[in-house]
């Protein structure tokens, strides 16, 4: 699947120098330099999973503003979820499909505060997408910018995205930003100008700290806290340092990959791409009542005439079984029924787990399957996602 992802080589996060000073082992991923780890993957993983807080640089993700009096109609004609139902200061998942209903990109859409006054008020949306699909989303929406009253602004290079994840994430965020961010709940978001932070002793640091405009998004999932903070690039290092001083541990992308798979979250170019129908991987990103959009006819037809032929699901294996992406999956009676897309050893579960596409008739939890890995045949069981309840995301 990786061939389908557009690559932009050697882009750097505003936090790249800080990662280097922290001993981060830098690798290339989706055209960006990112920290693989800071020396101990298991401790980084445990910071998120075992009751503390992890600090993750998600700046390579694409961030695009769409605003204007016709922004709602514009987005509703391109994506799968319903922007008319998205309230100010909340977010929802969505997808960009092509005319065949196949996936261009998965996005998180945040409705920010409306801009303007009086009769000139217009909505503003923030689209957040994976680094692998940033350019695809940008190209898709820029094609229509002359068709109505809406504006598109790519703010990826001007901002950083810092994620605080884990059971103590709220207390860490509260120590730095106060209650305004830490008390966000559900699918809530807030944008405001941060004049001050709190130091690691809880004192008001108004005289010395200035972080400018900040957007905080509550992305908590199944009981595990997660706060995503979007800040101006010039203030990213200061924000990172304050969060680290408040108790969050830097976490690299190797630990993040374990958390992602445990959380059952597909990654574009690995678990899904332009050959997948949207609903094979992203059921919760689709509204079936919103009306027409590109690809809607195909997606609706599949739903109302039956179901997709295959679907992304989980498989669990005995202990540390050797199973890799691309492995063929067969049924108990030796029929080929799917393929593994991602696999990892889960420290929390003490066994290997995998994301995989299976034919629809084999999706029931506890269904026995056989995965061919090299010369070995490894038994496994179909499992509901997420594997770990309380899994943050990528």
Per-10-residue mean pLDDT of the chain, 394 residues long, equals: 51 97 97 97 96 96 96 96 97 98 98 84 94 97 82 96 96 92 91 60 41 88 80 95 97 96 96 98 95 95 94 94 94 97 96 97 98 91 91 56
Query: Which residues are paired to 232 by β-bridges?
Result: 159
Residue 222 φ then ψ, to 5°: 50, 45
What is the structure's pLDDT at 10? 82
What is the structure's pLDDT at 24? 98
What is the structure's pLDDT at 9? 60
Query: Which residues are paired to 160 by β-bridges?
Result: 231
* Of residues 15, 53, 340, 47, the one with CA closest to residue 174: 53
Tokens of 301: 């037809």
What is the four-CA torsion angle of 269, 271, 275, 277, rounded to 10 degrees?
-130
What is the structure's pLDDT at 133? 98
Q: How many CB atoms lie within 10 A of CB 288?
A: 11
Structural domains of the chain, ranges and CATH numbers in brackets: 1-305 (3.30.1360.120), 309-389 (2.40.30.110)
Residue 391 φ then ψ, to 5°: -105, 120
Q: Please state, in angstroms and rounded to a whole number, the distance separating the CA atoms of residues 61 and 13.
A: 10
What is the structure's pLDDT at 203? 41
The three-class DSSP label of residue 372 is strand
Given CA atoms 334, 337, 340, 345 in this order, what sign does their dihedral have?
negative
* Of residues 299, 355, 342, 270, the one with CA closest to residue 102: 299
Q: Please state, in angstroms and rounded to a whole number, the distance separating the CA atoms of residues 82 and 384.
A: 27
Helix (H) or strand (E) holding 136: helix 134-142
Contact criterion met (CB below 8 Å) for 44 and 54: yes
Residue 11 φ then ψ, to 5°: -80, 150
Contact criterion met (CB below 8 Å) for 165 and 226: yes
Tokens of 51: 């009751």
* Of residues 163, 140, 275, 180, the one with CA closest to residue 220: 163
Helix (H) or strand (E) holding 61: none
Q: Please state, in angstroms and rounded to a whole number, the distance separating the CA atoms of residues 240 and 162.
A: 7
Buried b (16+ CB within 10 A) or exposed e, 222-257: eebbbbbbbbbbebbbebbebbbebbbbbbbbbbbb
Task: Find the length of the chain.
Answer: 394
What is the structure's pLDDT at 2? 43
For 168-210, strand residue ranges (E) read 189-194
Q: Please state, in angstroms and rounded to a whole number, the distance separating the CA atoms of residues 307 and 363.
A: 12
Q: Please state, in angstroms and rounded to a whole number, the distance separating the CA atoms of residues 366 and 285.
A: 26
Question: Any idea which residue has 């029929």 for tokens?
Answer: 335
Q: Please state, in angstroms and rounded to a whole number, the distance separating the CA atoms of residues 394 and 390.
A: 13
What is the structure's pLDDT at 224? 72
What is the structure's pLDDT at 393? 53
Q: Please state, in angstroms and rounded to a whole number, the distance separating the CA atoms of residues 269 and 349.
A: 26
């Amino acid at each position: 699947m990786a061939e389908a992802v557009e690559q932009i080589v050697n882009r750097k996060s505003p936090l790249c120098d800080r990662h280097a000073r922290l001993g981060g082992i830098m690798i290339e991923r989706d055209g960006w330099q990112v920290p693989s780890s800071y020396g101990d993957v298991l401790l980084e993983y445990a910071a998120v999973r075992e009751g503390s807080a992890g600090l993750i640089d998600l700046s390579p993700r694409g961030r695009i503003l769409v605003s204007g009096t016709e922004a709602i109609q514009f987005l509703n004609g391109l994506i799968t979820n319903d922007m008319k139902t998205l309230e100010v200061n909340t977010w929802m998942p969505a997808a960009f499909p092509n005319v065949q209903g196949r996936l261009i990109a998965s996005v998180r859409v945040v409705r920010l505060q409306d801009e303007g006054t009086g009769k000139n008020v217009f909505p503003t949306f923030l689209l957040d997408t994976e680094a692998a699909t940033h350019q695809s989303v940008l190209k898709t929406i820029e094609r229509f910018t002359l068709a109505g009253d809406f504006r598109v602004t790519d703010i990826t290079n001007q901002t950083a995205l810092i994620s605080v994840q884990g059971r103590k994430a709220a207390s860490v965020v509260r120590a730095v930003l106060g209650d305004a961010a830490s008390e966000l709940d559900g699918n809530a978001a807030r944008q405001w100008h941060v004049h001050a932070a709190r130091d690691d002793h809880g004192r008001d640091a108004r005289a010395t700290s200035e972080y400018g405009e900040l957007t905080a998004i509550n992305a908590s999932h199944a009981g595990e806290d997660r706060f995503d903070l979007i800040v101006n690039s010039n203030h990213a290092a200061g924000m990172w340092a304050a969060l680290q001083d408040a108790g969050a541990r830097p976490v690299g992308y190797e630990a993040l990959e374990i958390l992602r798979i445990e959380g059952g979250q597909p990654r574009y170019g690995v678990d899904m791409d332009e050959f997948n129908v949207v609903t094979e991987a992203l059921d919760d990103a689709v509204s079936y009542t919103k009306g027409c959009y590109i690809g809607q006819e195909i997606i609706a037809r599949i739903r109302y005439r039956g179901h997709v032929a295959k679907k992304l699901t989980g498989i669990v294996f005995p202990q540390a079984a050797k199973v890799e992406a691309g492995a063929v999956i067969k049924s108990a009676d030796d029929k080929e029924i799917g393929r593994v897309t991602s696999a990892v050893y889960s420290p929390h579960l003490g066994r290997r787990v995998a994301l995989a596409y299976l034919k629809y008739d084999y999706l029931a939890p506890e269904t026995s399957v056989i995965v061919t890995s090299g010369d070995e045949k490894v038994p496994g069981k179909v499992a509901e996602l997420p594997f770990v309840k309380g899994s943050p995301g990528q």
